[in-house]
Amino acid sequence: ALKPWSEMRADEEDEAGEKVGEAFIGIQISAAKLAGGHGMGYDDESICGNIVCCKKGLAGAEQTEQALAWLREEGTLPKEKVDLLLPEVKKVQEAIRARIEELRKRVWW
């Protein structure tokens, strides 16, 4: 959904260009970190590392949310586009928070 704006702003070295990049990459970081946590595993030796990966994934989703809100306020992205994307980003955040809670229950101490 953000790719057209990302491509348009790729050569721009201004705050709006940076925010488009943050919005575009933040949610991708979330997916990568969750996959990395899953790859670490779920046994006692790795569960805390898995949780750390999930927290980093949550930070990526929060980065996307903040950048989208800024881009809407500044008028860089159409409000309608952002209003479609933000609820989805919030769902991702909620799912990651639930995942962190689930994993914390598995920690042996």
Instruction: Tell me which of 2 and 42 has the higher pLDDT.
Output: 42
Q: In 3D, which of 95, 8, 10 has the Cα closest to residue 58?
A: 95
Question: pTM (2 decimals)?
Answer: 0.89
Burial of residue 73 (CB within 10 Å: 0-12, 13-18, 19+) is: exposed
Tell me the pLDDT tens digit for each residue of 36-92. 999 999 998 999 999 999 999 999 999 999 999 999 999 989 999 999 999 999 999
Helices (H) and strands (E) counted in the chain, each on its own, are: 4, 0
Place of tokens 């800024």: 70
